Amino acid sequence: MASRSPKFHGRVEGAAAHCAVPGCSEPGEFRAPLTAPTFDGPGAWQWLCLEHVREHNARYNYFSGMSPEEIEAAQSPIAGWERSSRAFASAGGADSAPPWSDFSDPLEAIRGRFGRGRTGAAPAAQRRFSGAEQAALGVLGLGSDADLPAVRKAYSVLVRRYHPDRNGGDRTHEAKLRGVIDAWQTLKAAAAFA
């Protein structure tokens, strides 16, 4: 039979003779922080029994001392997006990634790294669209300075407006809906957005 592991879910058997709480005679088998970790190290620790480590964990509050704005920022699903990440060495002369903070949309950031960033395409102000792409922009009500998020938004709005499920089953706008869908298919594959 295999021997039992001395560490199980944070339990370290035989770590301390007694719990650090005065008056408790149970063995101290669970490590609990006395102070928060600092730049210089992990901070001070104490050894507690199971009952007292549960009490210690129940009292723990990550957000204590934070203002409501700091709590909201910490809970944001995109917290940290505005910070630049550290640069990694590029192997074999590969292009470096653009800073993530330059983008508001994660998909555009990925496209910037693997699309425009590698090919060295012209900046947004100098994009050129073919005649079919210009016509597609016109169908969506956009100019030649539009970027892909603007195209995506205009497409979404127009599809909702002309779709029979959204306008009470009125099928008189089917030709317009087909034109909007065709415009989106043309523009999402446009070289200017690659």
- Residues 115-146 have pLDDT tens digits of 554 444 444 434 578 888 889 999 999 888 88
What superfamily in CATH does domain 122-194 come from?
Answer: DnaJ domain (1.10.287.110)
Strand partners, 12: 7
The pLDDT, as a whole number, for residue 62 is 80
Task: Yes or no: say if 177 and 159 are a contact pair by the CB < 8 Å rule.
Answer: yes
Average pLDDT, the chain: 77
Per-domain boundaries in the chain? 8-59, 122-194
* Residue 46 to residue 53: CA distance in whole angstroms: 10
